[in-house]
């Protein structure tokens, strides 16, 4: 795992992939449920949860940490505690955990262009229109 130092005031987005059993039913509020398993010192600032068919969830943890590997460790620990500790997640299993890499940012670095920092799509850009 590459350990790159960043400004510790920055958030890192870590994706945790969770395999769900066939009978799994998503429940509300899943993001708050995962976040409730974080200790205050772990600096989990925000959580998003998306279904990942056919049988899985992708949980996005926004974590303030000095390194990507530290943020990955926190996300994995929190996800594992949630899977073990919440009855709605019974039978689920954490299968992977890694930083969400933003390809456009790294393309700019390779091309020698100074990136401006906005590479994530806005919420309105992710919504498909009929």
Mean predicted confidence (pLDDT) in 91-115: 75
Instruction: Return the domain boundaries, the chain.
Output: 11-115
* pTM as predicted: 0.73
Beta strand spans in 65-103 (E): 93-99
Domain spanning 11-115: CATH 3.30.70.1340: yes
pLDDT exceeds 80 at position 71: yes
pLDDT band at 30 (very low <50, low <70, confident <90, very high): very high
Q: What is the pLDDT of residue 52?
A: 81
Mean predicted confidence (pLDDT) in 47-52: 92
Pairing of strands 11-19, 56-64: antiparallel
How far, in Å, are 41, 83, 98, 121 from residue 70 at the CA level? 12, 20, 11, 25
Mean predicted confidence (pLDDT) in 72-77: 96
How far, in Å, are 70, 76, 88, 102, 129 from residue 31 at the CA level? 21, 15, 13, 22, 25
């Amino acid at each position: 795992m590459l350990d790159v130092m960043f400004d510790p005031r920055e958030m890192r987005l870590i994706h945790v992939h969770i395999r769900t059993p066939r009978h799994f039913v998503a429940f509300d509020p899943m993001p708050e449920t995962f976040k409730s398993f974080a200790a205050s010192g772990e600096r989990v600032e925000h959580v998003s949860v998306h279904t990942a068919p056919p049988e899985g969830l992708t949980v996005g943890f926004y974590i303030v940490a000095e390194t990507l590997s530290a943020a990955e460790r926190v996300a994995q620990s929190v996800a594992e505690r949630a899977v073990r500790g919440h009855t709605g997640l019974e039978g689920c299993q954490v299968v992977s955990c890694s930083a969400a890499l933003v390809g456009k940012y790294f393309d700019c670095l390779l091309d020698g262009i100074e990136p401006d920092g906005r590479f994530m799509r806005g919420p309105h850009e992710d919504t498909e229109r009929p």
